[in-house]
Structure 1
Amino acid sequence: MSPKHHKHMHYNVALVDKLWNLKRLCEAQLKMHIPLNMVLKDEEYRAELLEKALQTNNAELTRLVWDIRQMEDSIVTATHSGDEFKARKKTRRSIKLGYVAAFACSLLLIMSGYLLRSFLPLNAGEVFVLEAVANTQVKSAVNKREQMTYVPAGQLVRATKPLFRVHGSNTVGERLAPRLVEAYFMARGATNIKTRQGNTPVEKAVSGELNGRIEFIEIHAHGSSTAFTDLLQDSAELGMSSRKIKDQERELLLAKSGDLGEPGAEHIIGLDGLAIITDTTNPATKLSIPELVKIFSGEVTNWSEIGGPNLPIKVYARDENSGTWDSFKSMVLDPAKATLVMTAKRIESSTELSDAVAKEPGAIGFIGLPYVRRAKLVPISATKTSKPILPAHFTVSTEDYPLARRLYFYLPQKNINADAEEFVKFSATERGQSIVEDIGLVSQNIKTGQAFNSDFYPQVMRDLTTRSQRLSLNFRFKDGSDELDTKGINDLERLVKYVEVNAPKRVQLFGFSDSEGDKAQNEELSLRRAKVVEQHLIERGIFPLVARGMGEEAPLASSKTEEGRRMNRRVEVWIL
């Protein structure tokens, strides 16, 4: 590499580093989740974010915005001529952002896993990043994940079998699992990391040069149920699922794999949330899941049938290959044994769907949270009588939003594959969780927010939380007990780290129950659950300021269904 080229590549690494800082500072100032992949690759989203950053009147953010714009200008000057702009008929800003997006895509994996140079001493890490970038070829700058190719390093021994095989959910396996595996290989010091498609689009292999060998990990994403059948048939060492393991599946695997419903076997790696959107003029203030079923199955065809204007309903949906469609189908249509109306307009692009719904009167659709753009967000309730909740990163994190769901890895506890176990642990780290965020899912990294207005809670709780902020996690429990579920156990460690970093903040715990049974007993049970969390924190050196039971107050859903009862049985965490 020539000295001039080496300097140029370093300059671009610095730009992407500033974009990462822009994301973090804007999240702190604007109190909103900002997906890194949108900042890097979506021209319009990024331009809007820079303008919002300036409007905060924060001196540090203002300097950062102007630094970014100057660096973008310099990149365009250094890499394009005026004739190129005319021939391609693009604006100067479009070319500037397009170049940065292409470059940023090749760095996204490095940033997500390591926040640039944080994984090595500064000089060595900087050299590593520059070498990686210099040998990277961008395959696609817009819709496909870039694969990393390096200069060949001589003859290596190629492994004949994978380190492990991870099979199951398409929602997890399409984008998240390959990205996590790539970052995991990097964490182990691998080079020449490549992702290749197998016999079908949902089969991939990620390889890397590691300890003098070309090692690889197999990913098959044929659906959540295949995670458990393949574990049973010894064709996978790790399962991935967008739903909790069923009792029948757990029992079939009990002798072979141990209890996959227990901590150590069941691992939540992130959450998925869907936004329901309508056109900007639609007066709808809320919709229930039963109403969504009727709309998207074609049972209801006019908004007047559900209390709206006399206007035909026009249904939009993502295409069959979309993970977003898979999520909507499994959360809304499948439980009601309903199918999508034949007249639904199917669109491949999330951005195009959102913009089409926003401008067509009577339109309704669903989309991933990062792609709402100008469309109108509709609060969703589990039933017609339960609390409607606006979809947001925060309400998905707390699982208050009814169209939120957990994403899982299942690791057998008999004859454990050590590489698979190490990979699962890596996925749960802050670095692993940053990748979850960057592809548009919801991580388990803790943030602060306010999910509802104060009227939702009983007066005693409002008095205690006047100056408090709610944290983006709820502790939930195993069915019929006050024992924390697997996510709750892992969230304890995240909460301890959060409090340590944010000392001297004090924790407040509020327990809630469902409304089944005696009211006094429910209040006692809700207090016991708050005390369980309190005791776990005390054992870890954290002494909560408050641990109170609110009983069946502030229900998130109807307690007439098992899912509603599960949502209502929780311990909320506030910080003062």
Structure 2
Amino acid sequence: MSPKHHKHMHYNVALVDKLWNLKRLCEAHLKMHIPLNMVLKDEEYRAELLEKALQANNEELTQLVWDVRQMEDTIVTATHTGDEFKLKKKSRNVIKMGGYATTACALLLIMGGYLLRSFLPLDAGEVFLLEAVTASKVQSAIKTREQANYVPAGQLVRATKPLFRVHGSNTVGEKLAPRLVESYFMSRGATNIKTQQGNTPVEKAVSAELNGHIEFIEIHAHGSSTAFTDLQQDKAELGMSSRRIKEQEREQLVSKSGDLTEPGAEHIIGLDGLAIITDTKNPLTQLAIPDLVKIFSGEVTNWSELGGANLPIKVYARDENSGTWDSFKSMVLDPAKASLVMTAKRIESSTALSDAVAQEPGAIGFIGLPYVRRARLMAISASKSSKAIMPTHFTVSTEDYPLARRLYFYLPQKNMNAEAEEFVKFSATERGQSIVEDIGLVSQNIKTGQPFNNSFYPEEMRDLTLRSQRLSINFRFKDGSDELDTKAISDLERLVKYMEVNAPKRVQLFGFSDSEGDKAQNEELSVRRAKVVEQHLIARGIYPLVARGVGEEAPLASSKTEEGRRMNRRVEVWIL
């Protein structure tokens, strides 16, 4: 997107409400993920979305499009400075905005379940942070300073140490963790919430006025490996990681923190897809993971060797401390016992890497899904014989995409920090997960969608799901067992809530196995896995319509690798 199209638009509360509804309705009717920040900030993206909404021929969507366009024509003029939207201040008198009265000199919209920050022009530069769920709440909440119930800064007690320290992944810590902490403070009724940079760009502190104190939470995002070293060295109370804890790290921390792979300690807070990107003119549209191994190890050096143009391959990679690099290394290079080519350009910033690859002919790199920007996105297959799948929010959410990854919080079970525990619980709520979604990662909130390829499934299953929709979760199991893993346990509760809201629809469960060993035994195991999930749901008052096993049919990856076998051992969830 060229800079001229990437303008910030200045919104009143009513327009933001319309755009939020536009996002939700379009997702329902167009069956596509729509990042709210793109709708708010990118005029070209928003214009294209409005056109698509009109083409849906839905009366409600059509009316919404015309409402948005009319409101855009009459919107208040504003100037953008830094991270805040500041209205042109003519006086301290009340400014009218789309019918809503406000004494605010600035509005910063953060849509994570209708979050609205309204900064009031208080004495001595003080600011007061309000949370609003609806426009009417904004209107009533900011009428007078007395109603805001603020406490002058001079009367507050400033904390000398953080409520807790969360260290680790840059992928989690750059945007997601600060936004979650801000919203967590809001949920507790805190005011004057600020995020400030520390000694380096990856060190932040989020502060807030809470119960007569100025409290803060420390966020250091130096890479996933630092989550575990800092927990070990008492430098953090909560770890954040864009890969699962390694066995060696788990063993080192057992005596100090408990088993961090157990429920209560290991928390999946969202998902991300490792996107493989190339320059914008690359004619190839898909690659297999073995191709990636050859490219990134330097075995293949020209695109013509893979059926592309006669052009040297230029490899880009994230830096050594990056969880993105760690995930790429563990998913692509390590299983093949390969190493990154020495000539690879290592870049610390995800955004900078993406932009560099997009512009350089012959370039290829890997990046988190939110950072693709203008680069060309490749469909990826686990093997030459597997289906090539594009990374989308749905295929990452189901973990069908072979380079999907989970994002984690690790909470020690020994000497647990109570504030950190409450924060982790908040992050798993629907409100916390909406923030995951809004910054461009993939939440665990359940959505419906269609499989990437219906003919992929055996005929019996196709018949049973002819009028069904697939849900965006797969139940997976601990290695070598039919015991649900930590994400699956959390997903059970999400599924129960989803079915309660969507009654009288019924659940259909389909179990799958890898292809190692005897075919009949694999089919029996796939049935047992579906039945395990069925029993968990029955215990929670949900009675599945179907619980079948289809054995080693419809493999997502080759069963010759442990990662491939893990992907194939799953229970898919459909509703009818």
TM-score range, shorter chain: 0.7 to 0.9
What CA distance in whole angstroms lies between the structure 1 residues aligned with 2:238 and 2:21? 35
List aligned pairs for 1:182-193, cutoff 5 A: 182-193=182-193
Structure 2 letter corresponding to 1:338: S
- Pair 1:382-2:382 in alignment: yes
Structure 1 segments unaligned to the other structure (5+ residues): 1-9, 81-102, 136-149
- Pair 1:64-2:90 in alignment: no
Instruction: Show the counterpart of 2:418.
Output: 418
- Pair 1:391-2:385 in alignment: no
Instruction: Show the counterpart of 2:217.
Output: 217
Structure 1 residue 548 displacement after superposition: 0.5
Instruction: Show the counterpart of 2:552.
Output: 552
**8 Å CA contact retained: 1:277, 1:354:** no
Structure 1 letter corresponding to 2:458: P
Q: More displaced, 559-568 or 226-235?
A: 226-235
Instruction: Show the counterpart of 2:520.
Output: 520
List aligned pairs for 1:253-402, cutoff 5 A: 253-278=253-278, 282-313=282-313, 315=315, 328=328, 331-332=331-332, 337-339=338-340, 342=343, 350=351, 353=354, 357=358, 362=362, 364-370=364-370, 376-402=376-402
Q: Provide closer, same or farther for how the CA distance between residues 178 and 307 of structure 1 changes in structure 2, counting only shifts above 3 A.
A: same
Aligned partner of residue 574 in structure 1, secondary structure: strand
What CA distance in whole angstroms lies between the structure 2 residues aligned with 1:229 and 1:352? 27
Instruction: Show the counterpart of 2:108.
Output: 106
**8 Å CA contact retained: 1:512, 1:569:** yes
Q: Provide closer, same or farther for how the CA distance between residues 341 and 29 of structure 1 changes in structure 2, counting only shifts above 3 A.
A: farther
Structure 1 residue 415 displacement after superposition: 2.2
- Pair 1:537-2:537 in alignment: yes
**8 Å CA contact retained: 2:353, 2:365:** no
TM-score, normalised with respect to structure 2: 0.83
Instruction: Show the counterpart of 1:31.
Output: 31
Structure 1 residue 188 displacement after superposition: 0.3
**8 Å CA contact retained: 1:355, 1:373:** no
**8 Å CA contact retained: 1:433, 1:444:** yes
Structure 1 residue 224 displacement after superposition: 1.6
Structure 2 letter corresponding to 1:473: I
Aligned partner of residue 75 in structure 1, secondary structure: coil
Structure 1 residue 299 displacement after superposition: 3.2
Structure 1 residue 569 displacement after superposition: 0.5
What CA distance in whole angstroms lies between the structure 1 residues aligned with 2:437 and 2:106? 16
Q: More displaced, 55-64 or 116-125?
A: 116-125
What CA distance in whole angstroms lies between the structure 2 residues aligned with 1:220 and 1:255? 24
What CA distance in whole angstroms lies between the structure 2 residues aligned with 1:344 and 1:412? 36
Aligned partner of residue 301 in structure 1, secondary structure: coil
Instruction: Show the counterpart of 1:165.
Output: 165
Structure 1 residue 44 displacement after superposition: 2.2
Structure 1 residue 214 displacement after superposition: 0.4
Q: Provide closer, same or farther for how the CA distance between residues 340 and 565 of structure 1 changes in structure 2, counting only shifts above 3 A.
A: same
The structure with the largest strand share of the pair is 2
Structure 1 residue 36 displacement after superposition: 1.1
Structure 1 residue 219 displacement after superposition: 1.1
**8 Å CA contact retained: 1:351, 1:371:** no
Structure 2 segments unaligned to the other structure (5+ residues): 1-9, 81-104, 119-129
**8 Å CA contact retained: 1:22, 1:64:** yes
What CA distance in whole angstroms lies between the structure 1 residues aligned with 2:524 and 2:441? 36
List aligned pairs for 1:65-84, cutoff 5 A: 65-76=65-76
Structure 1 residue 451 displacement after superposition: 2.3
What CA distance in whole angstroms lies between the structure 1 residues aligned with 2:457 and 2:144? 55
Q: Provide closer, same or farther for how the CA distance between residues 396 and 331 of structure 1 changes in structure 2, counting only shifts above 3 A.
A: same
**8 Å CA contact retained: 2:241, 2:409:** yes
Structure 1 residue 542 displacement after superposition: 0.7
Q: Provide closer, same or farther for how the CA distance between residues 129 and 416 of structure 1 changes in structure 2, counting only shifts above 3 A.
A: farther
What CA distance in whole angstroms lies between the structure 2 residues aligned with 1:536 and 1:275? 34
**8 Å CA contact retained: 2:115, 2:133:** no
Q: Provide closer, same or farther for how the CA distance between residues 463 and 120 of structure 1 changes in structure 2, counting only shifts above 3 A.
A: closer
Structure 2 letter corresponding to 1:501: V
**Alignment deviations for residues 164-198 of structure 1 (CA, whole Å, 9 cap, x no partner):** 11111111111111110000000000000011112
Q: Provide closer, same or farther for how the CA distance between residues 513 and 330 of structure 1 changes in structure 2, counting only shifts above 3 A.
A: closer
Give the RMSD, CA atoms, in angstroms: 3.4
Q: Provide closer, same or farther for how the CA distance between residues 232 and 453 of structure 1 changes in structure 2, counting only shifts above 3 A.
A: same
Q: Provide closer, same or farther for how the CA distance between residues 496 and 520 of structure 1 changes in structure 2, counting only shifts above 3 A.
A: same
**8 Å CA contact retained: 2:13, 2:135:** no
What CA distance in whole angstroms lies between the structure 1 residues aligned with 2:356 and 2:107? 24
- Pair 1:436-2:436 in alignment: yes
What CA distance in whole angstroms lies between the structure 2 residues aligned with 1:227 and 1:131? 44
Q: More displaced, 156-165 or 342-351?
A: 342-351
Aligned partner of residue 503 in structure 1, secondary structure: coil
Structure 1 residue 294 displacement after superposition: 2.5
Q: Provide closer, same or farther for how the CA distance between residues 371 and 423 of structure 1 changes in structure 2, counting only shifts above 3 A.
A: closer
Aligned partner of residue 72 in structure 2, secondary structure: helix
Structure 1 residue 543 displacement after superposition: 0.5
Instruction: Show the counterpart of 1:87.
Output: none
Q: Provide closer, same or farther for how the CA distance between residues 25 and 488 of structure 1 changes in structure 2, counting only shifts above 3 A.
A: same
Instruction: Show the counterpart of 1:43.
Output: 43
**8 Å CA contact retained: 2:354, 2:372:** no
Instruction: Show the counterpart of 1:247.
Output: 247
What CA distance in whole angstroms lies between the structure 1 residues aligned with 2:142 and 2:391? 37
Instruction: Show the counterpart of 2:447.
Output: 447
What CA distance in whole angstroms lies between the structure 1 residues aligned with 2:37 and 2:143? 21
Q: More displaced, 15-24 or 418-427?
A: 15-24
**Alignment deviations for residues 33-65 of structure 1 (CA, whole Å, 9 cap, x no partner):** 111111112232222212212221222222222
**Alignment deviations for residues 402-439 of structure 1 (CA, whole Å, 9 cap, x no partner):** 11100101111122211111100100011101111111
Structure 1 residue 205 displacement after superposition: 1.0
Instruction: Show the counterpart of 2:468.
Output: 468
**8 Å CA contact retained: 1:378, 1:390:** yes
Q: Provide closer, same or farther for how the CA distance between residues 318 and 413 of structure 1 changes in structure 2, counting only shifts above 3 A.
A: closer
Instruction: Show the counterpart of 1:95.
Output: none
**8 Å CA contact retained: 1:114, 1:431:** no
**8 Å CA contact retained: 2:172, 2:241:** yes
Instruction: Show the counterpart of 1:12.
Output: 12
Structure 1 residue 79 displacement after superposition: 8.1
**8 Å CA contact retained: 1:355, 1:374:** no
Q: Provide closer, same or farther for how the CA distance between residues 29 and 436 of structure 1 changes in structure 2, counting only shifts above 3 A.
A: same
Seq. identity, %: 81
Instruction: Show the counterpart of 1:197.
Output: 197
What CA distance in whole angstroms lies between the structure 2 residues aligned with 1:479 and 1:200? 39
What CA distance in whole angstroms lies between the structure 1 residues aligned with 2:560 and 2:65? 51
Structure 1 letter corresponding to 2:339: A
The structure with the largest helix share of the pair is 1
TM-score, normalised with respect to structure 1: 0.83
Q: Provide closer, same or farther for how the CA distance between residues 106 and 131 of structure 1 changes in structure 2, counting only shifts above 3 A.
A: farther
What CA distance in whole angstroms lies between the structure 2 residues aligned with 1:243 and 1:123? 42
**8 Å CA contact retained: 2:279, 2:364:** yes
Structure 1 residue 296 displacement after superposition: 3.7
The alignment covers a number of residue pairs equal to 529
